[in-house]
Amino acid sequence: MSTRTQAQQNSGAVTNQKSVQIAQGNGGLLTKELIESLFLSAADKQLDTRHDSATVACEWPYLCMTTDSFVVTPAIFPGGNIGSLSVYGTVNDLAVVGATPKYISTAFILEEGFPLETLATIVNGLYKAALETGVSVITGDTKVVPKNAGGGVYITSTGIGYAESSPIWDTSLIREGDVILVSGTIGDHGATVMLAREEFGLGAELKSDCASVLPLVALIKDFEGVRFLRDPTRGGLSVLLHDIVQETGFDIQLDESKIPIQPEVESVCDILGLDPHVLACEGRLVAVVSPEISDEVLNKWRNLDCGRGAENIGIVKKCGGSKGRVLISTSIGGCRMMNQLEEEALPRIC
Amino acid sequence: MSTRTQAQQNSGAVTNQKSVQIAQGNGGLLTKELIESLFLSAADKQLDTRHDSATVACEWPYLCMTTDSFVVTPAIFPGGNIGSLSVYGTVNDLAVVGATPKYISTAFILEEGFPLETLATIVNGLYKAALETGVSVITGDTKVVPKNAGGGVYITSTGIGYAESSPIWDTSLIREGDVILVSGTIGDHGATVMLAREEFGLGAELKSDCASVLPLVALIKDFEGVRFLRDPTRGGLSVLLHDIVQETGFDIQLDESKIPIQPEVESVCDILGLDPHVLACEGRLVAVVSPEISDEVLNKWRNLDCGRGAENIGIVKKCGGSKGRVLISTSIGGCRMMNQLEEEALPRIC
């Protein structure tokens, strides 16, 4: 590394530019300089660039692996940016299978002309989130594509976590009478990103819920009676609950008045004709638990800042139709099926 | 999985379409159908879509991790496609640190309107390469971006391999008098992709060298005297050798007449004004070895189809300047410095 750091000091080719150049993706000197000036300084030695693969000691019985491409626009939004999101999203996917996140790789696809200052903000957000969640970014890649062949910046994060056993929570454990808990308001991320595009001229004071769910999982990890955990991201609460009814064959009965939604999110949805149930969250946790422990889980979660808005939103019921359904009791005494995301497209939401 | 497979049979939404739609990236029903119709059928059960993280047993002392985004255009080229390339590239990065590739994740960023038939070819190429190289694709992701915010298809592959020790080969082991070997002709991939873009009206019968280097590594893994291995990809032989002189401080003296280059590649380079030394390979291996074993390595490699064109191209020398240089003895008795990739940009070559 030392010789490369010297090379960086001897050259100002990158720092004299204000936006990403196509030649910075060719794998040569300019690529090295970009990596050194932006990534290595933010990485604080966790990134090993000397080999194309990073090597770490491995001392656990099970290994969990997850990957996600992040294509959100705008890349910086109230409450986070694509860099922090790429870490939280990956950490959360590991957390919900009971794994302890350990290592992460990040691959950047940059569009020619993307502002380097914005990229620096994103890289810093990424490493700050990594530090907070206890994962090390041990390897990465940087490609540059020509103008109009990219979306500014795309990040693909892959996470490795360790586990003492194969997944302890699974939809196959879900039983009639189980309770559905959500750790906070839904749709904050989706509504914030839609607003941040400024295509609608709305100015609500919203911010993304983009955060790690590790503290929420840690509180209940040793509880008997936790059946299934998942973070509702793309497709929101609706896709998550429809996955459950599809896999188990049960119905889920929700109480509309209990589903926590911020008034600002409701307003944005009313105006834009969106359904908050399909809007992405990026820091919420949904748990299916036995009725015996549901109050204790809620109380524990509510003691955390990130779980203050936790609610019991419904129960698992015997199937009343030909296949599992997600039903919502409305405040006026009616009952309807939850909208299942199919045609609605909110592209580049995460 | 069974309920999801049923859902696929019950719906023809995807198969009635011929190109990727934006709603296929929303995480809902259409995303599931895309994954089921394209990926799961090709994956032959190695892909676990029930959790956001895949879990595998882990029984080795060291774990190696590598990631690369592939953005090559065209996505299908003579000798391979972006799918097979994404597997070989990842497998090769693990092979050159002495690891045995085990698991891979693949994240697709698709551009709205990308032909589904082309995507199927790519996905099949990917799984065929995985089968050949003995890696399992255990997790993945699919995002769809709007037209003009992507490049058709981008794939980010992350590989995990196991190793009995931390990297056994390293530039720090390189000594004066060591020999530089290359396993075959250089620049085939780069020249093929440039030609396949059909921007130049040339019609040479070239194909990419896109392949696994695992068989080449396996032959010499137990040899004493192997110092350093790497596959020359983006930036070609030049970037690889310049990395070595920069890290070691030695000079490298190459014999121009020994560097294997196909006549077709030479022609393409002459016409387009390209330097074959900076053109990407995707299935070649460069080894720095002690002089005592160089002939034996060459002989072993040449017995393989993928090593038939192997050559001893030069030696490591004491530095004759203020810093390590890559020197080339020319056929007319001169000596020049190898072109160091800096400004030249061959975007989207891998």
Looking at the fold, whether B118 and B240 belong to one and the same domain comes out as no
Looking at the fold, whether B147 and B209 belong to one and the same domain comes out as no
**What is the number of structural domains in chain B?**
2
- A22 contacts B55? CB cut-off 8 A: no
Q: Please tell me the predicted confidence (pLDDT) of residue A9.
A: 34
The distance of A270 to chain B (nearest Cα, Å) reads 20
Looking at the fold, whether B213 and B309 belong to one and the same domain comes out as yes
More confident residue, B32 or B139: B139
Q: Please tell me the predicted confidence (pLDDT) of residue B106.
A: 94
| Residue B345 one-letter amino acid | A
The distance of B31 to chain A (nearest Cα, Å) reads 9
Does A293 fall in a domain? Answer: yes
Interface of B with A in 34-73 (CB under 8 A): 50-58, 60-69, 71, 73
Is the distance from CB of B97 to CB of B64 less than 8 angstroms? yes
Q: Please tell me the predicted confidence (pLDDT) of residue A18.
A: 84
Instruction: For B107, list phi and psi in degrees, rounded to 5.
Output: -115, 120
- Averaged pLDDT score across all residues of chain B: 88
Q: Tens of pLDDT along A283-293?
A: 999 999 999 99
Query: Measured between beta carbons, which residues in chain A are less than 8 angstroms from residue B141?
Result: 67-69, 156
Looking at the fold, whether B280 and B159 belong to one and the same domain comes out as no
Which among B53, B55, B62 is the nearest to A56, CB-wise?
A: B62
Query: Measured between beta carbons, which residues in chain A are less than 8 angstroms from residue B56?
Result: 62-65
The distance of A243 to chain B (nearest Cα, Å) reads 9
Q: Please tell me the predicted confidence (pLDDT) of residue A288.
A: 98
Of the candidates A148, A106, A151, A113, the one whose C-alpha atom is nearest the C-alpha of residue A22 is A113
Cα dist from B293 to A14, B146, B175, whole Å: 42, 54, 14
CB neighbour list of residue B43: distance below 8 Å, 6 or more residues apart? B127, B137
Q: Please tell me the predicted confidence (pLDDT) of residue A156.
A: 98
DSSP secondary structure code for residue A168 in this structure: S
Q: Please tell me the predicted confidence (pLDDT) of residue B22.
A: 75
Query: Measured between beta carbons, which residues in chain B are less than 8 angstroms from residue A26?
Result: 234-235, 341, 344-347
Band (B12; pLDDT cuts 50, 70, 90): very low
Query: Measured between beta carbons, which residues in chain B are less than 8 angstroms from residue A21?
Result: 345
The distance of A123 to chain B (nearest Cα, Å) reads 17
Does A152 fall in a domain? Answer: yes
Looking at the fold, whether A19 and A142 belong to one and the same domain comes out as yes
Q: Tens of pLDDT along B294-310?
A: 999 999 999 999 999 99
| Res. A4: pLDDT tops 50 | no
Helices (H), chain A: 2-10, 29-34, 41-43, 82-95, 116-133, 188-196, 214-220, 236-248, 263-272, 291-302
Helices (H), A52-151: 82-95, 116-133
What percentage of chain A exceeds 70 in pLDDT?
89
- B56 contacts A105? CB cut-off 8 A: no
Size of interface A-B (CB pairs under 8 A): 285
Does A9 fall in a domain? Answer: no
Looking at the fold, whether B99 and B187 belong to one and the same domain comes out as no
- B230 contacts A160? CB cut-off 8 A: no
| Res. B11: pLDDT tops 60 | no
| Res. A6: pLDDT tops 90 | no
ipTM: 0.89
Does A97 fall in a domain? Answer: yes
* Mutation choice for B interface testing from A109, A143, A155 by most B CBs within 10 A: A143
Q: Which residues, in sequence order, are bridge partners of residue A57?
A: B62
Q: Tens of pLDDT along A140-159?
A: 898 999 999 999 999 999 99
Does B349 fall in a domain? Answer: no
Looking at the fold, whether B105 and B201 belong to one and the same domain comes out as no
| Res. B335: pLDDT tops 90 | yes
| Res. A78: pLDDT tops 90 | yes
Does A345 fall in a domain? Answer: no
Nearest CA in chain B to A169: B51
Q: Please tell me the predicted confidence (pLDDT) of residue A248.
A: 96
Q: Please tell me the predicted confidence (pLDDT) of residue A50.
A: 64
What percentage of chain B exceeds 90 in pLDDT?
67
Which among B69, B93, B340 is the nearest to A28, CB-wise?
A: B340
Q: Please tell me the predicted confidence (pLDDT) of residue B55.
A: 75
Query: Measured between beta carbons, which residues in chain A are less than 8 angstroms from residue B110?
Result: none
- A94 contacts B53? CB cut-off 8 A: yes
Band (A57; pLDDT cuts 50, 70, 90): confident
Looking at the fold, whether A128 and A262 belong to one and the same domain comes out as no
| Residue B211 one-letter amino acid | A
What percentage of chain A exceeds 90 in pLDDT?
66
Q: Please tell me the predicted confidence (pLDDT) of residue B6.
A: 33
Which among A26, A56, A106 is the nearest to B344, CB-wise?
A: A26
| Res. B15: pLDDT tops 70 | no
| Res. B272: pLDDT tops 90 | no
Q: Please tell me the predicted confidence (pLDDT) of residue A1.
A: 31
The distance of A74 to chain B (nearest Cα, Å) reads 13
Last residue of a domain, one of A132, A163, A194: A163
The distance of B1 to chain A (nearest Cα, Å) reads 8
Q: Which CATH number goes with the domain that contains A93? A: 3.30.1330.10
Interface of A with B in 265-284 (CB under 8 A): 278, 280
Q: Which CATH number goes with the domain that contains A324? A: 3.90.650.10
- B343 contacts A67? CB cut-off 8 A: no
Query: Measured between beta carbons, which residues in chain B are less than 8 angstroms from residue A7?
Result: 246
Band (A30; pLDDT cuts 50, 70, 90): confident
Band (A325; pLDDT cuts 50, 70, 90): very high
Lowest mean pLDDT among A182-191, A332-341, B5-14, B171-180: B5-14
Q: Please tell me the predicted confidence (pLDDT) of residue A40.
A: 74
* Mutation choice for B interface testing from A4, A51, A238, A323 by most B CBs within 10 A: A51
Band (B61; pLDDT cuts 50, 70, 90): confident
Nearest CA in chain B to A97: B53
Last residue of a domain, one of B163, B182, B217: B163
Of the candidates B247, B244, B257, the one whose C-alpha atom is nearest the C-alpha of residue B313 is B257
Q: Please tell me the predicted confidence (pLDDT) of residue A25.
A: 74
Last residue of a domain, one of B107, B129, B163: B163
Q: Please tell me the predicted confidence (pLDDT) of residue B271.
A: 85
Looking at the fold, whether B37 and B137 belong to one and the same domain comes out as yes
DSSP secondary structure code for residue A115 in this structure: B
Looking at the fold, whether A142 and A184 belong to one and the same domain comes out as no
* Mutation choice for B interface testing from A26, A39, A193, A241 by most B CBs within 10 A: A26
Does A259 fall in a domain? Answer: yes
Domain residues for the domain of A110 are: 15-163
Average pLDDT over residues B20-49: 72
Band (B203; pLDDT cuts 50, 70, 90): low
Looking at the fold, whether A136 and A175 belong to one and the same domain comes out as no
Q: pTM for this structure?
A: 0.90
| Res. B54: pLDDT tops 90 | no
Q: Please tell me the predicted confidence (pLDDT) of residue A16.
A: 60
Does B202 fall in a domain? Answer: yes
Contact A159/B at CB under 8 A: yes
More confident residue, A203 or B3: A203
Looking at the fold, whether B104 and B228 belong to one and the same domain comes out as no
Q: Please tell me the predicted confidence (pLDDT) of residue B16.
A: 59
CA atoms within 13 A on the CB side of A219: 20
Average pLDDT over residues B252-278: 93
Of the candidates A171, A341, A184, the one whose C-alpha atom is nearest the C-alpha of residue B25 is A341
Cα dist from A134 to A5, A91, A178, A196, A305, whole Å: 26, 9, 32, 29, 19
Is the distance from CB of A92 to CB of A128 less than 8 angstroms? no
| Res. B311: pLDDT tops 90 | yes
